């Protein structure tokens, strides 16, 4: 695939180097078009060595090939990262004062802009108006991530991680191929791949897989829990589990891409926060319970992907428990934690709310993974239960997953296997069918 990677003049331009590597390693032909300001952050030799193509901001280089027209006409995908406030302004007003903005006027393929700037610039009315204009024209503008910015300040405006940008960009092309037509940037709502006139912000804001999933969660509030809870034994030790939070984060990320407003309750997760998602960090089951119940009050869907501890110490030691040869250690007494999933699926459920649970099983002498999952589905009362085998290199901490999705009676709704994003989309497909 022929990709044009535009790079505007922001400090986050260095991250575009990794994005270039990711796209090249995936087998794509990438032509980098930096702005003049971008070359003050990362020089031409870097872009040219890694892409294998000339990298210039100038319209008047290689003029015999008319690059300001030819690059856009021949592209299958255009990604601009970082897209600064200046670049967004020039693109929205149709400026053509360098090779990148000229190319943006000629493309008829999917275009993804990944903004990066200080929070004040992102929140300014002019920037918001420019973003709205671009989205109305069918250009896909990601929400920036929140986090540490150039100085000591933090907030929204951070460039999304290169892997997230690459995933979102390539999903646009996959969606266009599946639909048999490309989303045309710049031609207005009437020619956009989905009904941008009806949802001008929701659809363009969430770039992944628009043709297959045309923002089918738009207008919905979904709550996702992720990670594994920890129950303190003393100030140093805790009872925990091996959950990395990757599946929950994939559920949050894909829900956002399908148009939802997402609250992610994360228990002891060390992953980067998904862009555009509200993240609530917790540690113990009690904290997770409080956070999920609070967020679920106005939620349309709650997905309990976190590995919640079934038990906690009956007493937490005030000081570190010492290991001494002449001192007997008291036995660790456990008590059950509240069943958060059963509470959500029970009488406290908001009318019309869909509740999805997870069952990580290993199988034993009493039954296999699926039989344990069916019993749990009937006992918990959730609308859907995703059952997956764990242990022996499966489930926890891996890049891939495989689940069997059951209904409340234990019947198989569907199965899914592959990356955790693929599994997440299968779960959202099952949820959407319940609306």
Active site residues: 241
CA distance 19 to 6: 11
Q: How far is CA 13 from the centre of its chain?
A: 21
Count the neighbouring beta carbons within 10 Å of the beta carbon of residue 363: 14
Would you say 244 and 266 are in contact if contact means Cβ atoms under 8 Å apart? no
Bridge partner residues of 384 (DSSP): 356, 407
Q: Which of 138, 209, 131 shows the shortest CA–CA distance to 168?
A: 209
Q: Determine if the peptide bond prior to 209 is cis (ω within 30°).
A: no
Q: Which of 40, 133, 53, 122 shows the shortest CA–CA distance to 90?
A: 133
Tracing tokens 């994939």 back to the chain, one arrives at 250
Q: Which of 142, 140, 58 shows the shortest CA–CA distance to 101?
A: 58
Q: How far is CA 256 from the centre of its chain?
A: 7
Give the list of residues 6+ apart from residue 260 with CB closer than 8 angstroms, or none.
Answer: 217, 218, 220, 221, 222, 301
Bridge partner residues of 302 (DSSP): 223, 355
């Amino acid at each position: 695939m022929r990709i044009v990677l535009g790079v505007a003049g922001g400090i986050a331009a260095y991250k575009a180097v990794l994005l270039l590597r990711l796209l090249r390693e995936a087998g794509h032909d990438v032509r980098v078009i930096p702005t003049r300001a971008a070359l003050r952050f990362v020089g031409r030799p870097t872009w040219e060595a890694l892409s294998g193509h000339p990298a210039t901001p100038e319209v008047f280089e290689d003029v015999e090939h008319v690059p300001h027209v030819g690059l856009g006409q021949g592209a299958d995908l255009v990604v601009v990262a970082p897209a600064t406030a200046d670049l967004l302004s020039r693109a929205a007003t149709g400026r053509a004062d360098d090779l990148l903005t000229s190319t943006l006027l000629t493309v008829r393929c999917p275009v993804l802009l990944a903004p990066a700037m200080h929070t004040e610039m992102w929140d300014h009315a002019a920037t918001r108006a420019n973003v709205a204009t671009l989205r109305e024209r069918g250009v896909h503008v990601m929400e920036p991530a929140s986090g540490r910015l150039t100085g000591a300040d933090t907030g929204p405006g951070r460039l999304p991680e290169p892997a997230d940008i690459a995933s979102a960009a390539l999903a646009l092309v996959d969606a266009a191929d599946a639909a048999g037509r490309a989303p045309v940037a710049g031609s207005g709502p009437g020619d956009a791949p989905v009904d941008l006139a009806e949802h001008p912000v929701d659809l363009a804001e969430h770039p992944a897989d628009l043709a297959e999933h045309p923002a089918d969660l738009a207008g919905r509030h979904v709550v996702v829990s992720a990670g594994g809870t920890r129950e303190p034994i003393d100030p140093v030790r805790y009872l925990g589990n091996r959950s990395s939070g990757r599946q929950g984060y994939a559920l949050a990320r894909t829900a956002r891409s399908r148009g939802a407003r997402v609250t992610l309750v994360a228990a002891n997760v060390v992953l980067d926060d998904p862009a555009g998602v509200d993240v609530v960090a917790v540690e113990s089951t009690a904290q997770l319970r409080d956070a999920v119940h609070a967020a679920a009050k106005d939620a349309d869907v709650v997905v309990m992907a976190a590995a919640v501890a079934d038990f906690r110490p009956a007493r937490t030691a005030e000081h570190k428990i010492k290991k001494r040869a002449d001192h007997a250690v008291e036995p660790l007494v456990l008590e059950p934690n509240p069943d958060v999933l059963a509470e959500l699926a029970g009488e406290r459920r908001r009318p019309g709310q869909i509740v999805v649970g997870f069952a990580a099983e290993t199988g034993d002498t009493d039954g296999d993974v699926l039989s344990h999952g069916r019993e749990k589905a009937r006992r918990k009362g959730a609308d859907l239960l995703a059952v997956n085998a764990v242990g022996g290199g499966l489930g926890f901490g891996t890049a891939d997953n495989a689940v069997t999705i059951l209904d409340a009676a234990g019947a198989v709704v569907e199965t899914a296997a592959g990356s955790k994003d693929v599994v997440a989309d299968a779960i959202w497909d099952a949820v959407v069918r319940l609306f």
